[in-house]
Amino acid sequence: MVRLSLTRVAGVVRRGLQSPRAVRFTSPAIFGPVPSFQPRLSASVSASKFISSSADRKGITPDDKPPTPREPVAIPVVKTPAEISDSEYHAVADEFMERLLNHLEELEDARDDVDVEYSAGVLNIRFGPDIGTYVVNKQPPNKQIWLSSPKSGPKRYDYVLLGDGQNDKQETACGEWLYLRDNSTIAQIFEDELGIDLKMPIGHYGE
CATH number at residue 169: 3.30.920.10
Question: What predicted TM-score, i.e. pTM, was given to this entire model?
Answer: 0.58
Residue 27 lies in a domain: no
pLDDT of residue 22: 43
Q: State the pLDDT confidence band at 206, using cuts at 50, 70 and 90.
A: very low
Residue 8 lies in a domain: no
Residue 96 lies in a domain: yes
Residue 20 lies in a domain: no
pLDDT of residue 120: 87
**Cα dist. 169→83, 110, 173, 178 in Å?**
10, 40, 6, 17
Q: How many domains does the chain have?
A: 1
Q: How far is 24 from 57, CA to CA, in rounded Å?
A: 63
Residue 3 lies in a domain: no
Q: State the pLDDT confidence band at 174, using cuts at 50, 70 and 90.
A: confident
Q: How far is 95 from 89, CA to CA, in rounded Å?
A: 10
Residue 34 lies in a domain: no
Q: How far is 164 from 139, CA to CA, in rounded Å?
A: 28
Q: Which domain holds residue 164?
A: 86-195
Residue 78 lies in a domain: no
More confident residue, 103 or 206: 103
